Amino acid sequence: MMLVTLDEIYAARERLRPVITRTRLFPAGTDGASVNVYVKPESFQPIGSFKLRGAYNKVAALVEQGRPAGIVAHSSGNHAQGVAYAARALGLPSVIVMPNNAPPIKVDATRALDAEIVFYDVATQTREQVTEQIIAERGWALVHPFADPLIIAGQGTIGLEIFEDFPDVEQVIVPIGGGGLISGVAAAIKHLNPAVKVIGVEPELAADARDSFVQGRVVAWAAADTNRTIADGTRTLSVGAINLEHMQAHVDAVLTVSEDDIRAAVRRLALNVKLVTEPSGALPFAAWIGQREKLPVQRNTVMVLSGGNIDPALLAEIVGR
């Protein structure tokens, strides 16, 4: 597999200029033990998540290559919104395949972007099977949530922004779900400065990426296991093969964090940094709270907070503790 190049990431940035927000760096509100520690909140994107970057880059490239009849994607919520937003912006219909346990806030937000939603039963079906059936029936184009070079390049624009805004950065900490975000960010950062450490973080209850990274092959977890984590954006059963290739080429380590630390991270970000962050997005801060001794660098750090689409009731429960 060919790894995404820096030129491809720059090309993605040009496609994305009309639609994304260039998110700024905020002080992380740490306990004072370290200095120059920042968070980059992708919750400020129009859909509340980084996913718009990869989705719009992919859909726009499909339009450039020959306008498809429509777009199909599968997602628990954030990629769904990114694809629906991109399809609507570019005048295409979209169908999103979502699990029947997807957070209602993400389902409602996807519907509001004019997407047709098809649910699947997580106990008896796979999203890939349902997606393939729709593609076979309609002949529409697939926009995969993470295993696609154009998706990776779109997410990589986050790395460009980090390096341009903080050229002295020594460490970047990134959440891992399917691997598209860390693939793109790590590719951009390592092309610009190979000395910068890139650390991935995922829940202990959905540690397929950690297992894949350590074993050097794609390792899948069962849905019954990954569905235990509060971080719904990381419930993918495995990283993509192309994502693992990028991780092995550009990522320095993958850490796992507890559910208690994820909750604590969401709470501290809300109360101390004044940022609403969903559990998947708070994973880097959870690593800072619970796994700091395993991080190679203690200063000049940026944590990518991947999104803020948290259910209001869950947020109230976490913050109220």
Catalytic center residues: 51, 306
DSSP 73-137: EE-SSHHHHHHHHHHHHTT--EEEEEETTS-HHHHHHHHTTT-EEEEE-TTT--HHHHHHHHHHH
Q: Which two tokens stand for residue 287?
A: 């690593």
CA distance 256 to 202: 5
Strands (E), the chain: 26-27, 37-41, 71-74, 94-99, 116-120, 141-142, 171-175, 197-203, 253-257, 301-305
Q: Which two tokens stand for residue 298?
A: 């203690």
CA distance 67 to 62: 6
Sheet containing 301-305: which strands, arranged edge to edge? 26-27, 37-41, 301-305, 171-175, 197-203, 253-257
Residue 31: Cβ within 10 Å count: 11
Question: What are the residues whose beta carbons fall under 8 Å from the beta carbon of 139, sequence distance 6 or more?
Answer: 69
In the numeric block, the tokens 């948290």 are attached to 310
Please list, residue by residue across 256-283, b when 16 or more beta carbons sit within 10 angstroms of its beta carbon and e when fewer do.
Answer: bbbbebbbbbbbbbbeebebbbbbbbbb
Cβ-contact 232, 103 below 8 angstroms: yes
Query: Which amino acid appears at position 100 of this protein?
Result: N
Instruction: Please tell me whether residue 171 adopts helix, strand or coil conformation.
Output: strand
Q: Report the relative pairing of strands 37-41 and 26-27 from DSSP bridges.
A: antiparallel
SS3 content of the chain, % helix, strand, coil (to 5): 50, 15, 35
